[in-house]
Amino acid sequence: MVAITKEAGAFVATRRNHTATSLLDLARTWLKRHDLRQKLADMDAHMLRDIGWTVYDAKREAAKPFWKA
């Protein structure tokens, strides 16, 4: 299970050289980011409060496309 926090690595933008390995890493980051945002979207207000998120922040984060940090 992955802990969902505002400091989760999936929400942090990084810049790198685009080699084959880094492209695979980028795809993994996008998939992780998409999954975390889906989980945030499915949480109710009580669950979000437990992890330190507001409903507004979670909805705003969940609405972002997977490629945006």
* DSSP of the chain: -----TT-GGGS-------HHHHHHHHHHHHHHHHHHHHHHH--HHHHHHTT--HHHHHHHHHS-TT--
- pLDDT of residue 1 exceeding 60, the answer is no
Spatial contact of 38 and 53, defined as CB atoms under 8 Å apart? no
> For 47-63, what is each residue's pLDDT tens digit?
999 999 999 999 999 99
> For 4-48, what is each residue's pLDDT tens digit?
776 666 666 656 566 778 999 999 999 999 999 999 999 999 999
**CB-based contacts of 11: which residues, under 8 Å, 6+ apart?**
33, 36, 61, 69
Could you state, in order of their start, the residue ranges of all structural domains in the chain? 44-69
What is the pLDDT, as a whole number, of residue 12?
Answer: 64
